[in-house]
Amino acid sequence: MREYHFYFLDQQSQIQSTKIAQCADDLGALEFAQQLKAPSDIEVWQGTRLVTRINAKGDNVPKERGAA
């Protein structure tokens, strides 16, 4: 299991709160984030790596071009 950080963002993409969870892999972390049903966007991080960003509808938001 790996530690993932889930950052709940406001309208200006500033962190409002954080949740930490253990997930088997990136797919497990994505599914966990979608189940949170947050009223705002969520960024999912594993260490210093951005895994994905989920919008308030639960959809995956593509990373910007050139982003690692």
Nearest C-alpha neighbor of 17 from the set 31, 5, 35, 30: 5
pTM of the model: 0.84
| CA 22/CA 13 separation, integer angstroms | 24
Is residue 40 within 8 Å of 10, Cβ to Cβ? yes
* Residue 60 confidence (pLDDT): 76
| CA 11/CA 4 separation, integer angstroms | 22
Is residue 52 within 8 Å of 42, Cβ to Cβ? no
pLDDT tens across 23-36, in order?
A: 999 999 999 999 98
Average pLDDT, the chain: 89
Domain spans, the chain: 2-61
